[in-house]
Amino acid sequence: MSIPKNPDPAKLVISCIMNDKALTEALFSMLEEAFGPLDMISRWLDFAYTDYYYKEMGTLLFRKVFVFKNLIAQDELALIKEKTNEIENRFARAKKRSVNIDPGYLVSSRFILATGKEYSHRIYIGRKIYADLTLMYSKKHGFKTLDWTYPDYASKDMISFLSKVRDKYLWDLKAGKGKKND
């Protein structure tokens, strides 16, 4: 018999695709107001290996990855996705998004993204939101992509960055830092 236990808290990671870096300051303020202070590890990854958003946002797209100091409960992801959808809507112009916001979380064994789109490998987590297992981690191989991992998240730059976020997460967990009451 398995004995249920509370899962470890997770590191909140929010990735944003946009075509105008000038949106970052307002976006930063809204995200920080909603989810607390940013961790110093947040950074630009000046690429977007997708043409999925071209029709809506244009062709020169940038990705900014925000990492938050406060650790979250893993079961908060659906509520976080709802909040990021609200923020996306605030930036929309003429029914088109100016920014795509992908919230997710990182724990020692995996990186999960939230999505509103159902698919065979996505698990329903409530509130019309699904959890997408995007990357798995093993001590031997580090982060491993899966057949469905989005190209941006499969890139060497993103995997290298998320490995650093994982190191910081493990340090925060060990030090007891980053909890909402800190």
| Average pLDDT rounded to a whole number, residues 12-33 | 94
In the beta sheet, which residues pair with residue 75?
A: none
| Average pLDDT rounded to a whole number, residues 156-180 | 89
Tokens representing 60 are 């020169």
| Average pLDDT rounded to a whole number, residues 42-52 | 77
Q: Domain residues of the chain, as ranges?
A: 10-175
Are the CB atoms for 58 and 19 separated by under 8 Å? yes
pLDDT of residue 178: 57
Q: What is the pTM of this model?
A: 0.94
Share of the chain above pLDDT 90, in %: 84
pLDDT of residue 181: 45
Mean pLDDT of the chain: 93
Give the range among 28-32, 51-55, 95-99, 111-115 with minimum mean pLDDT.
51-55
3-state SS, one letter per residue, for the chain: CCCCCCCCCEEEEEEEEECCHHHHHHHHHHHHHHHCCECCCCEEECCCCCCCCHHHHCCCCEEEEEEEEEEECHHHHHHHHHHHHHHHHHHCECCECCEEEEEEEEECCEEEEEECCCCCCEEEEECCEEEEEEEEEECCCEEEECCCCCHHHHCHHHHHHHHHHHHHHHHHHHHCCCCCCC
Interval 77-94: pLDDT, tens: 999 999 999 999 999 999
The number of residues making up the chain comes to 182
**Residue 49 or residue 175, greater confidence:** 175
